[in-house]
Structure 1
Amino acid sequence: MKHKKVILSSAVLLFLAITGFCFYVNLTFSNPEFRYGDLNYWLFTDKEFRNFPIIGSEPKDVLYQSSFQDGTKPGMLTLEYDTHLNPSEVIKAYQSVCHELNYLPKSTDHTSNSILVYSGRGKYDQIEIIAEKNSKNGSRILVNFIMKLEN
């Protein structure tokens, strides 16, 4: 009798796990707001995003902002993470990284600790890197992947 209860409860738990997984997959692929705000979606579907170097810790947050209704601004994906480097060191490091990756520099602003490069690859037109001093020793880094305007 005890074995039947264990088998039955295991079967129920397995059923609930499979149902929950199917619900998650369905929600992920049917709801763009949920899908685009999920870091794993971008890591699995976007090679340029996945291969972009991170100078610091693991990303804390990913945010997707869709384009405006009139199409005047493309969508933008923002990645946020921390590093122990100060903002000027972050910008210098990303300048050399972007040079190695053949991203064309558009502008560098050392006063606001930001750099803007042309991507021209994949779905991104420009990539903007902003380093801000955080409350601890180091910087908070925002990387904005600005998507191409689709006509």
Structure 2
Amino acid sequence: MEHEEASRLRRQLMTLQRRIRREMKTGPVALSDALVLGAIERHGGTASPGQLAEDLVMTTSNVAAALRSLEAAGLISRQRDSNDARRVHIELTEDGRRLVVDDRRRRDDWLCGTINTSLSPREQKILQQAGELMSRLAYQGLDDRDELDHGDAAAG
């Protein structure tokens, strides 16, 4: 693939990512809060503030602001580490978990509907194959797949 073609593909992927993020904005919480909730869920429902900042490539102050907002809304709880009281673990509450599931379902519904109304069955199959290839590219050269899976902002 030529450099110009790769650049075009990158721009196309970013356009789709922006559109999916736009669909996230229609949810009950701010986009940054939704991203934090999703990252906690990808960590198995509990994560440290530092992990979240690293995974989401956010400043610790932005993560702290999102966590305050999410805690006030009853979507997360903070638990002190039993071995080190200086450490805090962020956990999804049942409401937080439900919000993540509902948000992902809404985005999946949008994507499925858009694919079904915009693409022929043949194009849909090609898109599925392209998705598999994009996954291979995303994980190329990584020793730890979790490194990407936890930090994928729009994942789920």
TM-score, scaled to structure 2: 0.30
TM-score normalised by length of structure 1: 0.30
Query: Which structure carries more relative contact order (alpha carbon 8 Å, separation 6+)?
Result: 2
From the two aligned structures, give the one with the greater strand fraction.
Answer: 1
- Give the helix-richer structure, 1 or 2: 2
